[in-house]
Amino acid sequence: MAFIPLFFLAFLLQFCSSLSLFHHHPLDPLTPTELNQIKLIVDKSSIGSLPNLTYHFVDLEEPEKIDVLSWLSSKKTNKNAQFRRAKVVVRAGGETRELVVDLASGSIESNRVYTGHGYPPFTFNEFVKASRLPFQYPKFMKSIVNRGLNMSEVSCVPLTVGWYGEKVTKRTLRITCYYRGGSVNVYARPIEGISLFIDVDSMRITNYIDRFRVPVPKAEGTDFRSNKKIDPVTCNNATEKGFEIEGNNVKWGNWKFHVGFNARAGTVISTASIFDARMKKYRQVLYRGHVSETFVPYMDPESEWYFRTFMDIGEFGFGRSASTLQPLIDCPANAEYMDGYVAGADGQAMKMEKVICIFQRDAGDIAWRHAEINNPGTVIRSGQPEKTLVVRMIATVGNYDYVLDWEFKQFGTIKIGV
Ligand SMILES: *[C@@H]1O[C@H](CO)[C@@H](O)[C@H](O)[C@H]1NC(C)=O
Ligand SMILES: *[C@@H]1O[C@H](CO)[C@@H](O)[C@H](O)[C@H]1NC(C)=O
Ligand SMILES: *[C@@H]1O[C@H](CO)[C@@H](O)[C@H](O)[C@H]1NC(C)=O
């Protein structure tokens, strides 16, 4: 190892701790450094020499609840290296593998080929590559021309195909296409009747259907864009933040909790506790909470629609689909933002900017109030306006924007809204 002057090392340590290389909580999400380290460990192992290695999911391998709670109660502030393990799902050599990678030792602790039902989520690279295939496909180009449409104004979207109990041996996507032609609202103008089936491993079109023709809905009136001038409603005190944030730990009023982020669930709230003034200690309210799945079955029996039974979290991922939040539109002026990190198809860390915002809100409600008229000679009116703390993210999956709010209330309840 090269000689490093001491003062530089001291600076480096300080710099790194501010980049949260020191984890403040065992459930802290994987940092970009850790994600890249995981990629290195896997790439250098025997798995790295298998053909077509792609990363489909990388997340913290969750430590045992008992260990997390004992770490928290021991008030240790040291680096919790013993908890830094990752769960990694890759495809390599035509197989799915589930790995557990230990970051402290830099080794793969467990490596097993998955042979059960289903496949890991497609990578975004696979979606993008698949969406381009129709544009080189003569039969499709002919169908577009026959409909009197302009090929340069077509957008194609690969969809997952659902599962109906059959034995599935191939990773498949089904492509549907839309006509922009004068509109930016792509999903408003489907080109019905056309389906392309993609075998994702070979990235080839395996079947093409042009079953019927119906007119494309008109472009007029489909523009959804808002006026450029933002006129935010200010029912919040724009200068009052009202909470403290250190790493991923948030403290607000009598609450303290941890905000994580991963590719699948997006926001993960952990170890939420509220201070009980009577007992003079924190009471645990929620150990770990996140959305598990979002199921979107269209229930239309037509052959072009029946298969649309999306699992928007398992197949696409709220985290991977998290939208960069727009200050003053998605979150008020007093909001603070958090970035997220996920692994790309090559395993490299990818930054997702401003995916979570946290802000205190004047609820417009009364926290409590009372008027007492039975004291001689005096009327007492008292009370307090309600404030809440919101942790928000927005996942944009296809044509849907899921606004996901975790709202903490002063009285110990958490309200979840989608
Ligand atoms: C690797 O990818 C190429 C290109 O997509 C494909 O033709 C080949 O079959 C893949 N090999 C394996 C073992 O999956
Ligand atoms: C097709 O669309 C492209 C891109 O919008 C445009 O430049 C071109 O003129 C159009 N072609 C016809 C024949 O309308
Ligand atoms: C807004 O918050 C700041 C800081 O807490 C405070 O000084 C100010 O009085 C508040 N303004 C209003 C209108 O409540």
Residue 178: how many other CB atoms lie within 10 Å? 20
Give me the active site residues, please: 312, 400
pLDDT band at 324 (very low <50, low <70, confident <90, very high): very high
Q: Measured between alpha carbons, how far is 266 from 269 in angstroms, rounded to an integer?
A: 10
pLDDT band at 57 (very low <50, low <70, confident <90, very high): very high
Whose atoms come closest to the Cα of 199: which ligand?
A: 1
Element (DSSP H or E) covering residue 354: strand 349-375
Nearest residue by C-alpha to atom 14 in ligand 2: 150
pLDDT at 19 over 60: no
Q: What is the atom index within ligand 3 of the atom nearest the CA of 242?
A: 5
Write the DSSP symbol of residue 8: H
Give me the CATH topology for the region 124-210.
Nuclear Transport Factor 2; Chain: A, (3.10.450)
Nearest residue by C-alpha to atom 1 in ligand 1: 52
- Does residue 153's CB lie within 6 angstroms of at least one atom of ligand 2? yes
Q: Is residue 172 within 8 Å of residue 205, measured between CB atoms?
A: no
Kindly give, in sequence order, each residue whose CB lies less than 8 Å from that of residue 239, ignoring residues fewer than 6 positions away: 334
pLDDT of 75: 65
Sheet of 172-179, strands arranged across: 154-159, 172-179, 194-199, 204-210
Q: Is residue 388 within 8 Å of residue 409, measured between CB atoms?
A: yes
Domain ranges of the chain: 17-113, 124-210, 232-417
- Does residue 152's CB lie within 6 angstroms of at least one atom of ligand 2? yes
pLDDT at 66 over 50: yes
pLDDT at 88 over 90: yes
Nearest residue by C-alpha to atom 6 in ligand 3: 240
pLDDT at 163 over 50: yes
Q: Measured between alpha carbons, how far is 25 from 251 in angstroms, rounded to an integer?
A: 14
Ligand 3 centroid from CA 238, angstroms: 8
What is the gyration radius of the CA atoms in the chain, in angstroms? 26
Query: Among residues of the chain, what percentage have pLDDT more than 70?
Result: 92
pLDDT of 64: 95
Whose atoms come closest to the Cα of 179: which ligand?
A: 2
Closest CA to 90 of 106, 114, 109, 115: 114
Nearest residue by C-alpha to atom 14 in ligand 1: 94
Q: How far, rounded to the nearest angstrom, does the alpha carbon of residue 359 sit from its chain's CA centroid?
A: 19
Ramachandran area for residue 258 (φ above 0: left; ψ -120 to 50: alpha; else beta): beta
Q: Measured between alpha carbons, how far is 334 from 387 in angstroms, rounded to an integer?
A: 13
Ligand 2 centroid from CA 152, angstroms: 6
pLDDT of 74: 84
pLDDT digits (tens, 9 = 90+) for 259-292: 999 999 999 999 999 999 999 999 999 999 999 9
pLDDT of 334: 94
Average pLDDT over residues 113-124: 95
| CB-defined site of ligand 3, < 6 Å | 237, 239-240
Pocket probe for ligand 2: among 141, 149, 153, the residue whose CB has the most ligand atoms within 8 Å is: 153
Q: Measured between alpha carbons, how far is 109 from 85 in angstroms, rounded to an integer?
A: 9
| Identical topology for domains 17-113 and 232-417 | no
Cross-strand partners of 362: 387
- Residue in the block written with tokens 């600076």: 11
Q: Measured between alpha carbons, how far is 163 from 405 in angstroms, rounded to an integer?
A: 30
Q: Measured between alpha carbons, how far is 361 from 243 in angstroms, rounded to an integer?
A: 11
Class of the CATH domain delimited by 17-113? alpha beta
pLDDT at 7 over 50: no
DSSP 171-232: -EEEEEEEE-TT-S-GGGSB-TTEEEEEETTTTEEEEEEE----PPPPSTT---PPPSS---
- Residue in the block written with tokens 């924190």: 282
Average pLDDT over residues 195-205: 97
Ligand 2 centroid from CA 79, angstroms: 59
Give the residue, 177 or 12, on which the prediction is more confident.
177
Q: Is residue 206 within 8 Å of residue 128, measured between CB atoms?
A: no
Superfamily of domain 232-417: Copper amine oxidase, catalytic domain (2.70.98.20)
pLDDT of 73: 86
Q: What is the mean pLDDT of the chain?
A: 92
pLDDT at 321 over 70: yes
Q: Measured between alpha carbons, how far is 38 from 28 in angstroms, rounded to an integer?
A: 16
pLDDT of 10: 39
State which amino acid sits at residue 23: H
Q: Measured between alpha carbons, how far is 82 from 355 in angstroms, rounded to an integer?
A: 28
pLDDT digits (tens, 9 = 90+) for 205-252: 999 999 999 999 999 999 999 877 777 666 677 778 999 999 999 999
Cross-strand partners of 284: 273
pLDDT of 333: 92
pLDDT at 345 over 70: yes
- Residue in the block written with tokens 């509109």: 183
Whose atoms come closest to the Cα of 234: which ligand?
A: 3
Average pLDDT over residues 384-405: 96
Top-confidence range, 13-27, 221-235, 335-349 = 335-349
Query: Among residues of the chain, what percentage have pLDDT more than 90?
Result: 85
- Does residue 155's CB lie within 6 angstroms of at least one atom of ligand 2? no
Q: What is the atom index within ligand 3 of the atom nearest the CA of 237?
A: 1
pLDDT at 82 over 80: no
pLDDT at 44 over 90: yes
Ligand 2 centroid from CA 227, angstroms: 27
pLDDT of 81: 65
Average pLDDT over residues 155-164: 96
pLDDT of 268: 98
Q: Is residue 188 within 8 Å of residue 155, measured between CB atoms?
A: no
Ligand 2 centroid from CA 173, angstroms: 29
Q: Measured between alpha carbons, how far is 156 from 174 in angstroms, rounded to an integer?
A: 10
Q: Is residue 15 within 8 Å of residue 7, measured between CB atoms?
A: no
Q: What is the atom index within ligand 3 of the atom nearest the CA of 240?
A: 2
pLDDT of 6: 39
Q: Which two tokens stand for residue 6?
A: 């001491």
Pocket probe for ligand 1: among 202, 204, 206, the residue whose CB has the most ligand atoms within 8 Å is: 202
Q: Measured between alpha carbons, how far is 391 from 393 in angstroms, rounded to an integer?
A: 7
pLDDT at 24 over 90: no
Average pLDDT over residues 390-414: 96
Average pLDDT over residues 90-117: 96
Ligand 1 centroid from CA 41, angstroms: 23
Q: Measured between alpha carbons, how far is 258 from 270 in angstroms, rounded to an integer?
A: 5
